[in-house]
Structure 1
Amino acid sequence: MKHVVFDIGAVLVEWDPALAWVDDLGQSETNAFLERINFDKLNLACDAGATFNEAASLLDDSDDAALLRQYVERYSQTVPNKIQGTWDILNALKAKDVRVFAITNWSVETWPQGCKAHPELAEVFEFTVVSGQVGMIKPSVEIFSYFCVEAGVDAADCIFTDDGLHNCLGAKAAGMNAIHFTGPDALEAGLKQRGLL
């Protein structure tokens, strides 16, 4: 194994969509709103290529639709902090000339906002697949196979890490090794076991 492929949200940066509205609505009303509109499912559809305006247009309640339409412009508030321990690992890998890549489920609309909040995301990887840009989404084998072709790497040479176990299973189905991300310490241990750190 020669290369490490990172997920980004909840691995390299914290992400909490409630932060887009909590200052206005408070935590309990924000939570109720997110549950009421099935935000997780709508967000996944946007990660796959839909727009948040299209998602909002499907909501029956006009107030809820107006709130959802605020999401993209407020997105930077939802990714406030780096997960520094993972960045330390990434930098250590690069210092050892390990090639680092990323495959992320991220909307084509919010990805630029995330990169504005954390410019390193646009610079640190040799190649990044953003699901919303390519119309494929983890954990489908398709997106991992697409990554390998476009990056010019063999799946068997890649170690993928993601906080979603289902995404790790998708990577394994595509022929990659995978480490389920539960924190920087466990990731570091897994990479040491595989001889990359």
Structure 2
Amino acid sequence: MTEIRHIVFDIGKVLIHYDPELPFRRLIADDDKRTWFLAEVCTSDWNVEQDRGRSWEEAEALLIERHPDEHDNIRSFRRHWHEMVPHAYEDSVAIMEGLIDAGHDVTMLTNFAADTFVEARNIFPFLNRPRGVTVSGEVKLIKPDEKIFDLHASSFGLEPASTLFIDDSQKNVDGAKRAGWNAVLFQDAETLRADLARYGIAA
């Protein structure tokens, strides 16, 4: 097994919790209406385009044209984004910070809108600790596209075969492997410690 010299963390649902329903439980009290809104209006597919680099202004205008009666709720998605990331996964953060403190090379690779990532860094200062980060909304590439893994490796001088990627999405884990990286599916901190141990890394 190749020695792992670089460890790359995803962020959402690995280091911080993310749930777009949280503010809308207050904003749309009716369960059926809220379910419809997040499934048919502010959908996951719509939101991922902001992770790909589309501006919120363009994204909101697109939906408001289609659903003019939902104008306020559509605007509320970005306006109340901070409520969607209510807390960090402290045990996962402890692992990441422990790896940094032990001298490991740690970076981050995330699907994240550029502006909300700036906000996230202010909310969660530990996101400033790794050596660097590739943010999909800034580079206009998105996981699991192999190109974003290649870009991250070249940007930070990583040898793919010596890199271990940690992500909560199987398709992103598979994308990393196609790019020549080692990768593990994040489930919880205990499993992550065991996965790191399999690669000879104490955490």
TM-score range, shorter chain: over 0.9
What do the CA deviations read for 1:61-82 (whole angstroms, capped 9, x no partner)?
A: 1132432222223111110011
Q: Is the 8 A contact 1:75 1:113 kept in 2?
A: no
Structure 1 outlier segments of 4+, above 4 Å: none
Q: Which residue of structure 2 lines up, in the alignment, with residue 2 of structure 1?
A: 5
Work out which of the residue numbers 172, 175, 186 in structure 2 matches 1:181.
186
Amino acid at match of 1:74: H
Q: Which residue of structure 2 lines up, in the alignment, with residue 84 of structure 1?
A: 90
Q: Is the 8 A contact 2:42 2:77 kept in 1?
A: no
Unaligned runs of 5+ in 1: none
Q: Is the 8 A contact 1:53 1:69 kept in 2?
A: no
TM-score under structure 2 length normalisation: 0.92
Q: Which residue of structure 2 lines up, in the alignment, with residue 105 of structure 1?
A: 111
Q: Is the 8 A contact 2:100 2:130 kept in 1?
A: no
Q: What is the percent sequence identity of the aligned residues?
A: 30
Aligned residues: 196
Partners in 2 of 1:179 and 1:21 — Cα distance? 32
Unaligned runs of 5+ in 2: none
SS of alignment partner, residue 159 of structure 1: strand
Q: Is the 8 A contact 1:18 1:27 kept in 2?
A: no
Where in structure 2 are the equivalents of 1:107-126 lying within 5 Å? 107-121=113-127, 123-126=128-131
RMSD: 1.4
Q: Which residue of structure 2 lines up, in the alignment, with residue 31 of structure 1?
A: 35
Deviates more, 1:147-156 or 1:69-78: 69-78
Deviates more, 1:22-31 or 1:78-87: 22-31
Q: Which residue of structure 2 lines up, in the alignment, with residue 20 of structure 1?
A: 23
Alignment of 1:49 onto 2:65 = no
Residue 54 (structure 1) shift: 1.2
Residue 177 (structure 1) shift: 0.2
Partners in 1 of 2:116 and 2:78 — Cα distance? 6
Alignment of 1:155 onto 2:160 = yes
Q: Is the 8 A contact 1:7 1:161 kept in 2?
A: yes
What do the CA deviations read for 1:122-161 (whole angstroms, capped 9, x no partner)?
A: x111010000000000000000000011101111111001
